[in-house]
Amino acid sequence: MTTVSELIQPRELIGDTGLRPHSPLTRAVHGHRQSRRPHPHHALTTPIVQTATYTFKNSADLCAFMEAKMWGNDPEMAERGEYGRYGNPTVRSVEKRLATLEEGDDALLFPTGMAAITNVLLSILPAGAHVIFTDDCYRKTRQFCNSFLRRFGIETSQVPVGDYAALEQAIQANTRLIISESPTNPYLRVVDLERLADIAHRHRVKTLIDATFATPINVRPLQFGIDLVIHSATKYLSGHNDIMAGVAVGEAGLIHALRQSQGMLGGVLDPHAAALLERGLKTLALRVRQQNQTTQSIASYLETHPKIEQVWYPGLSSHPDYAIAQAQMSGFGGVVSFTIKPIAGETPLATTSRFIDAVTIPLIAPSLGGVESLIEQPALMSYYELSTEERLAIGVRDNLVRLAVGIEDENDILTDLEQALAQI
Ligand SMILES: *Cc1c(COP(=O)(O)O)cnc(C)c1O
């Protein structure tokens, strides 16, 4: 028989003792909650504080707040609301939950993933700095560095992902930042984070990892010495294809500095979107575990199919980064990329489009990480304006397919892929 004290025991663990030692599964549900102090009106969920500005009781109250902000002697007072662009309690609550999940000091939310990336780069790079990024990086990040930041005298170098000698060689006296992703898009390359951080730190260079494809359930890059982690929270973190958001997680001083510049640059997350993100985070671990498992099965199935040319998934022993993925990640994510074998008398572009059109469960759309499976042919989706030759130069083959697996039944997706492959 269960005794009363046994019933009380687990409550103590998730109550006043804090949640840091718990698994990501528990942290995703309970967030940063350090005590059982209730929310206003004893609400279990975080209230949506829909306000543009905040009031002060009187001038003395205002002065006490300004003093607390200046001297940092009263953190609780300093965190109270002032004006919407400088912070919102709903957004703040989700930031703390994300910091806990990534095992970072603090986090800062943005209205999109790109807002997180551009805000970070605009804030931390001085004029004339040099940035290194790995190829197979999110295309808009590369474009921002190569075209937009160039106007401020910022130089860039691109090195092949996985070539650590080239990475070290690319470091110059003015190099300030190394940007990479892990896993990358679309070939799911996995970066040896410890090795990357070690090279960067030896040269006093900061590191930024876009870990959108990994999620904190599969890998937490700060644990490996990375300085800053970024996510497009539009993808797995919110998980339902219904909001856009971005987040940066890292050391407290760095996040504080980013918060200061966010107050100037002005890109803040809406509290409604923050509430939907928090709701998504509560099921993050369940969704990602399911997506890991289903995608592993799909990748293995595709690899044996006679109409498939090649499959890229870090959970397959054929993937170039299988070993580092095994050592570094606890799951390999919900995206699998593959090429369709060319057929005589038809362009690979056309055969691949016919396959995609024959699939019925995954929807044709950009993005990933939501509950619905999405499928796309990168040659038509993100690289349409390029010629076949230009696409090949950046590694995007005409017969490449990217499947972002949702949480539908594994057998249903496998059966669907089988019937679609039978039609080509
Ligand atoms: C989607 C995505 C982004 C951009 O995020 P948005 O929320 O669309 O602005 C950046 N990096 C990666 C890896 C992405 O998948």
Does ligand 1 have an atom closer than 6 angstroms to the CB of 138?
yes
Residue of 27, 33, 138, 220 marked active site: 138
Please name the amino acid found at residue 8: I
Tell which atom from ligand 1 comes closest to the C-alpha of 234.
Answer: 7
Residue 365 DSSP SS3 = coil
Q: How confident is the model at residue 356, as a pLDDT?
A: 98
Spatial distance between the Cα atoms of 348 and 398, rounded to a whole number of angstroms:
6
Q: How confident is the model at residue 13, as a pLDDT?
A: 40
Does ligand 1 have an atom closer than 6 angstroms to the CB of 179?
no
Distances (CA, A) of 36 to 13, 32, 134, 242: 11, 11, 44, 31
What does the pLDDT profile of the chain (424 residues) look like in tens digits? Answer: 444 444 444 443 444 344 456 787 888 888 876 666 778 888 999 999 999 999 999 999 999 999 998 998 888 888 899 999 999 999 999 999 999 999 999 999 999 999 999 999 999 999 999 999 998 788 898 889 888 999 999 999 999 999 999 999 999 999 999 999 999 999 999 999 999 999 999 999 999 999 999 999 999 999 999 999 999 999 999 999 999 999 999 999 999 999 999 999 999 999 999 999 999 999 999 999 999 999 999 999 999 999 999 999 999 999 999 999 999 999 999 999 999 999 999 999 999 999 999 999 999 999 999 999 999 999 999 888 888 888 888 888 999 999 999 999 999 999 999 999 999 9
The CATH superfamily holding the domain 286-421 is: Aspartate Aminotransferase, domain 1 (3.90.1150.10)
pTM to 2 decimal places: 0.93
**CA–centroid distance, residue 238 to ligand 1 (Å):** 13
Q: How confident is the model at residue 126, as a pLDDT?
A: 94
Helix-strand-coil percent breakdown of the chain, rounded to 5? Answer: 45, 15, 40
Tell which atom from ligand 1 comes closest to the C-alpha of 233.
Answer: 7
Does ligand 1 have an atom closer than 6 angstroms to the CB of 244?
yes
**Is 210 noted as a catalytic residue in this protein?**
yes
Does ligand 1 have an atom closer than 6 angstroms to the CB of 139?
no
**Is 235 noted as a catalytic residue in this protein?**
yes
Q: What are the sequence ranges of the domains in the chain? A: 24-51+88-281, 286-421
* Burial annotation 222-234 (CB, 10 A radius, 16+ → b, else e): bebebbbbbbbbb
**CA–centroid distance, residue 239 to ligand 1 (Å):** 13
Spatial distance between the Cα atoms of 250 and 95, rounded to a whole number of angstroms:
11
Q: How confident is the model at residue 3, as a pLDDT?
A: 47
**CA–centroid distance, residue 138 to ligand 1 (Å):** 7
**Is 163 noted as a catalytic residue in this protein?**
no
Q: Which fold, 24-51+88-281?
A: Aspartate Aminotransferase; domain 2 (3.40.640)
Q: How confident is the model at residue 34, as a pLDDT?
A: 60
